[in-house]
Structure 1
Amino acid sequence: MGTYTEKPDGLGSQSDDRVDVEQVDRVAVPPTTLQSFAHLDEKAILRKMDMRLIPMLALLYLLSFLDRGNIGNAKIEGLQEDLKLTDDQYNWCLTAFFFTYAAFEVPSNLMLKKVRPSIWLPAIMVAWGVVMTLMGIVQNYTGLLTARIFLGVTEAGLFPGVAYYLTNWYKREEIQLRQAMFFSAASVAGAFSGLLAFAIGKMDGVAGLEGWRWIFILEGKSFSSRELAMGLGWCIVTVIVACIAFFALFDFPETAGFLNEDERAFVMYRLKYQGQSQDPNRAQVAQADEFKWKYVKDAFLDWQIWVNIFVYWGVVCPLYGISLFLPTIIRQLGYKSSQAQLMTVPIYITAAILAVIVAYCSDKVGKRSPFIVGCLLTMVIGFSMCIATDPREHPKVVYGGVFVAACAIYPAFPGVIAWLSNNLSGSLKRSVGMALQIGVGNLGGAMASNFYRARDGPRYVLGHGLELGFIGGGLIACAVLLMGYTAQNRKRARKIDEGALDLYSPEELSEKGDRALTYRYVY
């Protein structure tokens, strides 16, 4: 093995450890240093990866988030009244989704490592499309609750799976932009859902079905036929997209057909030998990739994951509060249902654009926490505008408040995901750790689904207040992470200066992953 070449900013990618160095050497002409790849255009390779990966992943997540959040649109089109749901029953239908959604995320990511992503992701996509279509024909509370529970099961694997999947392709200083481009599909889904719900709501009475049912059936990708929806629940668009995804998704860099041999070797090499500060005269290998329960246990016992979950809650509780209740909050300002649907659109479009801009800046400077903290503070401003204003007297101020809050929530979310993934080394540990973060973190959605009670409208002091409380907790958790990372980095640098690195072989350092003396946490 050759020497390590580190970027001036000290940031690299978390090591990808699915193949060892000898395997990389067999892919192409034996690469010993980055100079071996001097003839390749790194930016051209990145553009090629972006074009082949991001659009399909964004489409999958757009469909997922559209199906997950459109119950808020269906509510103001008459779902609650037609199914004779009490306010508590409606909130339980929202809450139940997150229990199964959280429970199945870690198992799903473990399955992703056993089954090819190009098989696993399309398969769960077909499953949730079927569940979504069936939600359009439920007749009572029990049916809707059951459908929401199974929707959580089928959708659980997508977001943590894709979030982890991207770390197998991109370096640490590149990942947030790609996470943001993927996640911005959620913002676009919110805007598209409002537009679609506005149009579909006009279908009330078509084929003897209420307008809100068509929101589920059509967004669940069924044919516009009552018999087909009720008989087969055949999700034609979902099946088509899933089939395309089966052929369009590429599993991992070493098998990517759109890269030549040198490019595949280069992508794997740049992932393996970045992200650690070490003696340039000493070779370093990544954490071994064979399945060991030790690595799973390491993820569950890693302090940074559990602290990061509080940061995640500080973002995801407002995220779900907005996505599930935004149409209702806007309608309570005195607007008609159709107007409320349309008024959600500019909020989501602006949030999507800002998410990409913030991610680009974060990757450019190689920092995560300043942007996350900045977004959290902006969220405080937005929700403070809402909680301090009587919507009956100043509805535009409240609308402005949710606008400001949403435009900070969506840029913050990919930052939180990227921050943790940047600081987990070892493919298996990173897979489990990210699923744990997103799984437990999404219990915040179960809490947020009960924040905005109908009896608290139109001001929703309790809901806005709870959002502010979770944001405050996220800010405190950010401070704890920063202090912990700073202390660990300084401690490791001091030990290396004292010669402690000579006590470890490369294999022993590899076994430690992000706990190795050579590893440096990203702020």
Structure 2
Amino acid sequence: MSIDSKIIEPVRTSSKDFSHGHVLTGDADIAAAYANKLDGENAYSSKEAKRLRWKLDLRLVPILWFNVTLGAMDKVTTSTAALYGMKTDCDLTGNRYSWVGSAFYFGYLIWCFPAGSLLQKLPVAKTMATAQILWGIVLIGTGFAKNFETLIALRVLLGVLEAPIIPGNFLILGMWYSRREQPIRTGLMYTGLSVLFTGPIGYGIGFITDNGNWRYFFWIAGAMTIVWAVIVGIFLPDNPVRAKFVTERQKAIAIDRVRADQTGIENKTWKKDQMIETLLDPKTWLMFLFNIWISIPNGGLTNFAPLIINGLGYTAQRSTLLTMPTGIIQTVSSYMCNGGVFLCAKYISKCQLRGAWVIFGCIVGMIAAIFLYTLPLTSLKGRLAALYMSYFYLGPYIVALGMSTANTA
């Protein structure tokens, strides 16, 4: 029986957490006060739950999608700028450009754990919006950079500021959707459609005749990020209880829909025993290693794909446009792998085959990489097609991200 066709029994909790629907201590989940609002004659129908789910999809998924899209845009700013002279203007000789590309990930790695702690203690959406405003300011500042050292510092800082966004997105997703509903929303959230912005913007910059026209890319991306941060701060709720776009009854239904997962909605109390349990769980370290390995092609492709295409003989302007098919492949990969997980969960009882879809996506990307390496240098179209198919890695990456939330209560 699906979650939409029945009322989920309340999760058992101790008396110290809540009694008769009222929170008694700060240790209780904030949704505890809604525990008994749907009992008896107040029970909701599956039709009512579906209407609410559709309402959530229209409100939350587009915001979460653009959060990810902005981050993806930022990761190609340096590679697009490099086509228009950033390497010369900032003296990026030797392997300096590679270090600029890597600097972002150093900042991200350093701050990912503190960012998770901040999201645990502070309002999720407001924390994300604040980080995005600062991230936009850093992007604008990058447009004024004149040397290698400044670029390194700004890219590290940018990685720090982007660290709360992805975990924040997944926290929001987990507050509103059940585990069975999350894979398809994760797939919608993660696409390669950032190229629909970066491609045309990069192409348009090519018409600017000023010296240092590459700087405009950072200024435009930074301004977009700041504007979007304001939208996130206004329209993305921190949790269902504080959401203004749903009624009190809809809040209770939203909370009841995810109660069977026993993940709660939001609890600001840090629990040492949960941290120890997480660190001792082999799944934690397997997912940690997998995300490192799957990110290797991500870092290389985002930093060098436009330059690789340019090296195949295309102009800087045309190279920016030819990056757009990479986003199409990423989107197809995301929808195929996450859609497969969703369909398996729907039609094969108690089976989502997440691992199988991860393996499938990795094999496709690996075959593409082999062709890219072995095809002769004169086979420009073949090598370009292989480069595009290398972006299939996104599908298994996204499915793997969802595996951690799906296997954790």
Give the match for residue 361 of structure 2: 375
8 Å CA contact retained: 1:136, 1:216? yes
Distance 1:163 1:112 in 2: 11
Distance 1:219 1:286, change over 3 A: closer
Out of 53, 59, 81, the residue aligned to residue 52 of structure 1 is 59
Distance 1:373 1:33 in 2: 46
Distance 1:16 1:418, change over 3 A: farther
Residue identity opposite 1:340 in structure 2: S
Give SS of 1:361's match. Answer: helix
Taking only aligned residues, the RMSD between alpha carbons, in angstroms, comes to 2.9
Report the TM-score, using the length of structure 1 for normalisation. 0.68
Distance 1:34 1:353 in 2: 45
Give SS of 1:273's match. Answer: helix
Give SS of 2:237's match. Answer: coil
Give the match for residue 280 of structure 1: none
Distance 1:342 1:85 in 2: 24
Give the match for residue 306 of structure 1: 285
Deviation at 1:73, TM superposition (A): 0.8
8 Å CA contact retained: 1:204, 1:212? no
Residue identity opposite 1:309 in structure 2: F
Give the match for residue 348 of structure 2: none
Deviation at 1:176, TM superposition (A): 1.7
Give the match for residue 87 of structure 1: 94
Give SS of 2:66's match. Answer: helix
Deviation at 1:31, TM superposition (A): 3.6
Confirm whether residue 202 of structure 1 aligns to residue 207 of structure 2: yes
Deviation at 1:242, TM superposition (A): 1.9
Confirm whether residue 398 of structure 1 aligns to residue 377 of structure 2: no
Deviations 1:124-154 (A, max 9, x none): 0010111111111111111111111111111
Deviation at 1:381, TM superposition (A): 1.0
Give the match for residue 230 of structure 2: 243
Distance 1:20 1:346, change over 3 A: farther
8 Å CA contact retained: 2:73, 2:194? yes
Distance 2:160 2:133 in 1: 12
Give SS of 1:220's match. Answer: helix
Distance 1:414 1:143, change over 3 A: same
Distance 1:127 1:364, change over 3 A: same
Deviations 1:303-359 (A, max 9, x none): 101112232234221122222111111122222222211111122124224423432
Give the match for residue 308 of structure 2: 329
Distance 2:12 2:116 in 1: 16
8 Å CA contact retained: 2:193, 2:327? yes
Aligned residues with identical type, % of pairs: 22
Report the TM-score, using the length of structure 2 for normalisation. 0.86
Confirm whether residue 416 of structure 1 aligns to residue 395 of structure 2: no
Distance 1:384 1:33 in 2: 61
Out of 130, 141, 158, the residue aligned to residue 151 of structure 1 is 158
The 5-angstrom pairing of residues 466-505 of structure 1 reads none
Greater RCO (CA < 8 Å, at least 6 residues apart): 1
Give the match for residue 71 of structure 1: 78
Distance 2:376 2:46 in 1: 63
Give SS of 2:43's match. Answer: helix
Out of 138, 144, 160, the residue aligned to residue 167 of structure 2 is 160
Deviations 1:403-451 (A, max 9, x none): 1121x222222101011110111xxxxxxxxxxxxxxxxxxxxxxxxxx
8 Å CA contact retained: 1:173, 1:364? no
Give SS of 2:95's match. Answer: helix
Deviation at 1:247, TM superposition (A): 1.4
Confirm whether residue 385 of structure 1 aligns to residue 371 of structure 2: yes
Distance 1:267 1:16, change over 3 A: farther
The 5-angstrom pairing of residues 287-298 of structure 1 reads 290-298=269-277
Q: Which runs of 5+ in 1 are unaligned?
A: 222-236, 277-284, 426-523
Distance 1:181 1:39, change over 3 A: closer
Deviation at 1:295, TM superposition (A): 1.5
Number of aligned positions between the proteins: 385
The 5-angstrom pairing of residues 182-193 of structure 1 reads 182-184=189-191, 187-193=192-198
8 Å CA contact retained: 2:202, 2:217? yes
Distance 1:369 1:401, change over 3 A: same
Give SS of 2:67's match. Answer: helix
Give the match for residue 274 of structure 1: 261
Distance 2:322 2:265 in 1: 49
Out of 22, 29, 48, the residue aligned to residue 41 of structure 1 is 48
Give the match for residue 351 of structure 1: 330
8 Å CA contact retained: 1:16, 1:272? no
Q: Which runs of 5+ in 2 are unaligned?
A: 23-30, 346-351
Give the match for residue 181 of structure 2: 174
Residue identity opposite 2:194 in structure 1: A
8 Å CA contact retained: 1:40, 1:263? no
Give the match for residue 217 of structure 1: 219
Distance 1:41 1:409, change over 3 A: same
Deviation at 1:261, TM superposition (A): 2.6
Residue identity opposite 1:290 in structure 2: T
Distance 1:143 1:288, change over 3 A: closer
